[in-house]
Every structure is written in structure tokens, then in C-alpha cells.
Copies of this chain bind each other. A is one copy, B any other.
Amino acid sequence: MEEIRPLVHRVSYFETDQMGIVHHSNYIRWLEDARTDYMKQRGVSYREIEAMGVIMPVVSVACSYKQSAHFDELAFVSTRIRFFSGVRLVYDYEVSGEDGALLATGTSEHCFLDRETRKPIHLKRKLPRLCELMERLAEEDKTED
């Protein structure tokens, strides 16, 4: 399997708060950028998934903060699929700083909805080829341990 590059994010001034560090809510947004980028590297485009009538809202999100990030520093967000069942998808994330230190870990959980009806769908029925691909990706991420 090809190596997946972490998302590289340069911390913006507007992401800082009056503590002089990145406001914690921004990490939640970095995780989103990271899974979008991760999927794209593995051949799956969120934009296309939505165009095919499927949305993937966040069911839950969690983030643990280990060290602060600061303005103009680089943050690296690596992503992997922890679980995929066709109705539920869970990503794990690690955010690292320029020196490799762990800044944060995160998790997000997603379901699949029909874009029009907003009803839950089983990806296998709606987008079987995507479902197969996702199963394979999940398998690969698992065996990497």
C-alpha cells in the first residue's frame, strides 16, 4: 500500500486565542481537513460522494490535547480508519508538531445519509463499489498495526 502523507497545516493567526495558543475548536476542523485529504489520497473524493447523493455527517467527535500549537507553526495530522461497517465509519487521528511531538489525538464517527431524504443508508446498497473500497481501506489500516 502506498504511504499516506499526513495533512500539513500551517497555523493561522485567526486560530489563536488570548491564551496565545491555538483555540481547541480548530483542531476539530483540522480533523475534517485531514480525513478529506486522507480519503483523497486513497482515491475517495468527498465531493464525489456528495455528488452521488450521500452525505456523511459527524455522529460524534472527540479530541485530547497534549501540547499547545502556536501561530505560524506547522501541524501534521495523520488519519486512519479504525472501523467501517457500511453504516458507520470511525476515524482516528494524531496531530503532531514540527518537532514530532504529539499535540493531540482525536476520533470522529460518521454515518451515511441519503442527501435528499436525510435517512440513514447502508453504503453497500447505495454505493456498493465505494463500500468495497472502504472495506479494503479499513482492512489495510488495521493490518498496519
Please determine whether B12 and A33 come into contact, CB atoms closer than 8 angstroms. yes
Query: What residues of chain B lie closer than 8 Å to A45, measured between beta carbons?
Result: 72
Query: What residues of chain B lie closer than 8 Å to A60, measured between beta carbons?
Result: 62-65
Complex-state Cα separation, A47 to B47, whole angstroms: 26
Task: Tell me the count of chain A residues lying within 8 A, CB to CB, of chain B.
Answer: 37
Complex-state Cα separation, A142 to B37, whole angstroms: 38
Max count, chain B CB within 10 A of own CB: residue among A19, A59, A65: A19
Smallest CB–CB gap between A58 and chain B, Å? 4
Complex-state Cα separation, A65 to B113, whole angstroms: 14
Please determine whether B14 and A55 come into contact, CB atoms closer than 8 angstroms. no
**Known interface pairs A13-B36, A25-B29, A33-B12; A18-B61 also in contact (CB < 8 Å):** no
